[in-house]
């Protein structure tokens, strides 16, 4: 079972206590963007097998949104962090690169 630690209240929450929110760090497109960019923002996701950044909500706890870095194939969690960031924090990137030397943030 997937267990993520909420960065706000510090509780290690099981997957059943959380609500998934999809991919993290999406680049949003609004008025004035091309149809192709807006379509990609709405519908196209890479469906990564490996390191992935996701949005989660601590639904059965504090109710706040946070972000998690994990491996979708092994469920290994590299860390969680607050949602008000536009990129993963350096300590999360370092934790991933320590275990996946060939991985890079693109």
The DSSP H or E segment spanning 99 is helix 90-99
Applying CB under 5 A, the site for Zn ion has a residue count of 6
Six token digits for residue 40: 């990609």
Q: Does 3 bind Zn ion (CB under 5 A)?
A: no
Q: Single out the segment in contact with Zn ion by CB under 5 A; choices: 3-11, 28-36, 79-87, 93-101.
A: 3-11
Q: Is residue 18 near Zn ion by the rule CB under 5 A?
A: no
Question: Does 58 participate in binding Zn ion (rule CB under 5 A)?
Answer: yes
Among 2, 40, 59, 62, binds Zn ion (CB under 5 A): 62
Q: Are strands 19-23 and 77-82 parallel, antiparallel or unpaired?
A: unpaired
Is residue 95 within 8 A of residue 60, CB to CB? The reply is no
Give ∠ CA 71-74-75 in degrees, rounded to 5. Answer: 65
Interaction site with Zn ion (CB under 5 A): 6, 8-9, 58, 61-62
């Amino acid at each position: 079972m997937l267990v993520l630690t909420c960065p706000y209240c510090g509780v290690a929450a099981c997957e059943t206590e959380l609500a998934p929110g999809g991919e993290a760090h999406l680049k949003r497109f609004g008025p004035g963007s091309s149809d192709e960019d807006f379509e990609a923002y709405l519908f196209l996701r890479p469906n990564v097998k490996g390191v992935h950044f996701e949005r989660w909500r601590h639904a059965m706890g504090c109710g706040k949104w946070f972000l998690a870095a994990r491996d979708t194939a092994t469920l290994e969690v590299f860390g969680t962090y607050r949602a008000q960031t536009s990129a993963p924090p350096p300590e999360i990137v370092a934790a991933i690169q320590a275990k996946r030397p060939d991985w890079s943030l693109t």
